[in-house]
Amino acid sequence: MGRRALVMFMVLSWMAFPVVVRIAEAQKIPTIAVMLPNGGDPYFQAKWYGYEMEAKRLKVNLIFYDAGGYANVNKQISQIEDVIQRKVDGIIFTATSSTATIPAIEKAIKAGIHVLNDNVICRTDMIKARVMKNDYEIGMLQATGLIELLGGKGKVVMLPGPAGADVAIDRKNGGEDTFKRFKGIQIVDVKWTESSSAPAMKVMEDILQAHPDLNAVHTFAGMVMQGAVQAIKAAGIKPGKIFVGSADMVDYQKRFMEEGWVQVLVPNTPVQMAKDAVRLCLDMIQKKPVPPMTWNRAVLVTPKTLPYYNWGDNAAPEGWKPSMSVSAK
């Protein structure tokens, strides 16, 4: 090969190199870490199902991390460090704490990982895309439903869920602000509890002893609602004597409403929300434009409207079991 031909070959090879790199990048299967605060909660089980289904459709690898409860902030921070070491392409992040997790998440972003904030906010401006529900609005809608049933007057207790969790604080504030706009409503107690049925049941038992004339209970979400209903049942109180409200709507919540134990539910659509998160995180990885905020709105459901509610995006199918990872191969 002559000198001129050799030079021309080298130039053409160099020009082709970026194209080869882009093709290789396009063929690489992205890996996304899904980071949950309380994966055992039926609401997050519904989201887990949504993540899995969309990852399989889009041919994306998923790795799941569960902090095991909103109180386990340090565990989630440690998990973020592990994700950084694994050099994943993206993170779908639901925060245990909106502030304590900021340094670790910002470190992940600086390491080149695309972070999408999902469901519970992490308050850093470095996150450029979010898929969110409005928890203040959810608390407000639940209180509105209870106020309507009470006719604007009565004694109410609030079980706002895990202390310090922003999602719980926002729902409590939304409900409390709404109750206070009605002079006939008296909030007789506010008791924080883990997002679990057993501690919620114990708290509700104590409340029923202290307030036998209670008219309604505003609860954080499904597992706290379940504990409250169990306490009401154990006390021998008939269904409907105390109005019960909750966020979310998975299978057992629907059943409690059908049986008359629960009168107000405020679901968003967790399965669709999870699918949106996977799709948008993949768009970020592929450097496609994404909106800074994608809302997943909640609605108010009562026994009267329950038969007409579109159930599809609220729960995983019966018998489905979550996996700790999903492989696109």
The whole-number pLDDT of residue 1 equals: 52
The whole-number pLDDT of residue 326 equals: 84
* Residue 48 CA to its chain's centroid (Å): 10
For 96-117, write each residue's pLDDT tens digit: 999 999 999 999 999 999 999 9
Q: Between 7 and 94, name the one with better pLDDT.
A: 94
Residue 13 has pLDDT above 70, yes or no: no
Binned at pLDDT 50, 70 and 90, residue 16 comes out as very low
| Same fold across 25-133+269-296 and 135-266 | yes
- Nearest-angstrom CA–CA distance, 265 and 286: 38
Least confident of 24-28, 183-187, 277-281, 311-315: 24-28
- Fold (CATH) for 135-266: Rossmann fold (3.40.50)
Residue 26 has pLDDT above 70, yes or no: no
**pTM higher than 0.75:** yes
Q: Between 312 and 268, name the one with better pLDDT.
A: 268
Position 63, amino acid: I
Distances in whole angstroms, Cα of residue 90 to Cα of each of 56, 122, 202, 329: 16, 16, 40, 18
* Residue 148 CA to its chain's centroid (Å): 27
- The CATH code of domain 25-133+269-296 reads 3.40.50.2300
Least confident of 6-20, 108-122, 278-292: 6-20
Residue 17 has pLDDT above 90, yes or no: no
The whole-number pLDDT of residue 4 equals: 62
| Residue 250: closest CA among 226, 230, 234 | 226
- Nearest-angstrom CA–CA distance, 227 and 175: 19
- Nearest-angstrom CA–CA distance, 95 and 92: 10
User: Domain residues of the chain, as ranges?
Assistant: 25-133+269-296, 135-266
